[in-house]
Amino acid sequence: MESFLGMATERLATKRLPSTLKHCCPYAKTVMLPSWSDQIRSIRLSNKPLSSPGRDLKTVNSLPTKVLFAGGEFDGERFFYDNDADPFFPVETGDEFANPVTFPDKDGRRILISWLLSTKMSGSATFSAPRELLYDLSDKLVMLPVHELRDRCVNESRFVSYDDGRLNIRFEGRTLFSKAYAVRPEMKVLEDVGTVEVFINGGRENISMFIC
């Protein structure tokens, strides 16, 4: 097992996502999801309540992120949720992460790449860094940058800071993102031209956004 970026706590050590049985299905607001299961529904931009088998979802405008995930088992025909009562959860909580795709690589890793679509700068778009989907030892889904990029991650960033109980992303004196945390989160930051991607608490939460 490999811990994320040197984090030594067993709680955040990661394990490989099995190639069978365990699946993670990203749910995007504007994307028709795979047709291999009648359990999968498209979530579209609407103020109307959304529903899925066995439960009601909140309206799209109240969802915390564009993309939600559901974990469970796929038997070749149907997808069975780990948690039927509340199957959907976010990992990426930034506003600009959209339309992710996943694929296996030659080493058996499950890789995810997504669009980053700027909500502040009209027409700005790019790809996210490739991320590996894993389950940690507490069976929580995490997304981490692929190991080929981890030596580019930094603990501190001129754009990302934790001040007075809030994680802030700033550029040229402007606060672009601010979120309260009860305790200082473990952060790794991957900077690129015009974007930052923040991996929090061993990848349990990601925040990706344009800064310029």
pTM: 0.72
CB atoms within 10 A of CB 192: 16
Q: Is 104 helix (H, G, I), strand (E, B) or coil?
A: strand
Residues of the chain with pLDDT under 50: 1-23, 27-64
CB atoms within 10 A of CB 127: 11
Structure tokens at 27: 């749910």
Rounded CA separation 210/127 (Å): 11
- pLDDT tens for 68-122 read 888 888 888 888 888 888 888 889 988 889 889 999 999 999 999 999 988 776 6
Q: Is 150 helix (H, G, I), strand (E, B) or coil?
A: helix
